[in-house]
Amino acid sequence: LEAASEALDLFKELGQAASEATALQTVIRARLTNAEPSEALRLAKAAHQRAKRTGSARGEAAALQAVANVCIHIRAPAEARQALHNAQAIYRKLKDRRKEAAVLTSAINAHTLTGSVEDALEAAQAARAICREVKDRRQESAILELVSQIHVECGELGQAA
């Protein structure tokens, strides 16, 4: 945690938004592992405000994804969905289809938390279409695994296989 926090601070200082986003995810995972979700959420929201202030669209979208991931972890799906919606809009504007697919993949989990199977499957379908478009087979397989889990939980074993 100490090294990741130090890296995060250095990336902020250097203005390297992509590296800062990666370090932020590491710090957040560590905070969640240490059962410190409120600190993880505080860090993610602070990163979002900082990115917004500095005009870093990519940094803002990455921080919103971090906020959403923490919200999914603490079972706050409404806030997660809102953050993901905003992140998706930014990535769409930036024409970053891979990141848009990643946001939609997280949305599958947020919708699943609320029991909204239809919305989860719609997000999966949209994410998978993007993955096919950009030829990201690895992300597509992760999406298919999530869809299979949803079908198993719904008792739709034929759909899961």
Q: Is residue 51 located within the same domain as residue 110?
A: no
Is residue 60 pLDDT above 90, yes or no? yes
Answer yes or no: is pLDDT of 17 > 90: no
pLDDT tens by residue, 93-102: 999 999 999 9
Domain count, the chain: 2
Which of 67, 95, 123 is the last residue before a domain boundary? Answer: 95
Report the predicted TM-score, pTM, of the whole model to 2 decimal places: 0.87
Sequential DSSP letters for 64-81: HHHHHHHHHHTT-HHHHH
Q: Supply the pLDDT for residue 42.
A: 95
Instruction: Give how far the C-alpha of residue 13 lies from the chain's centroid of Cα atoms, to the nearest Å.
Output: 24
pLDDT surpasses 90 at 110: yes
Same domain for 79 and 111, yes or no, is no
Residue 160: predicted pLDDT:
63
Q: In this structure, which long-range contacts are made by residues 91-96, counting pairs with CB atoms below 8 Å and at least 24 apart in sequence?
A: 91/61, 93/57, 94/57, 94/58, 94/61, 96/58
Residues 87 and 113 in one domain: no
C-alpha–C-alpha distance, residues 146 and 139, integer Å: 11
> What value does the mean pLDDT take over residues 38-61?
92
Each residue's pLDDT tens digit, 62-97: 999 999 999 999 999 999 999 999 999 999 999 999
The parent domain of residue 63 ranges over 1-95
- Fill in the DSSP letter of residue 116: -
Other residues' Cβ atoms within 10 Å of the Cβ of residue 84: 30
What mean pLDDT value characterizes the chain?
93
45 and 61 inside one domain: yes
CATH value at residue 69: 1.25.40.10
For residue 143, the model assigns a pLDDT of 98
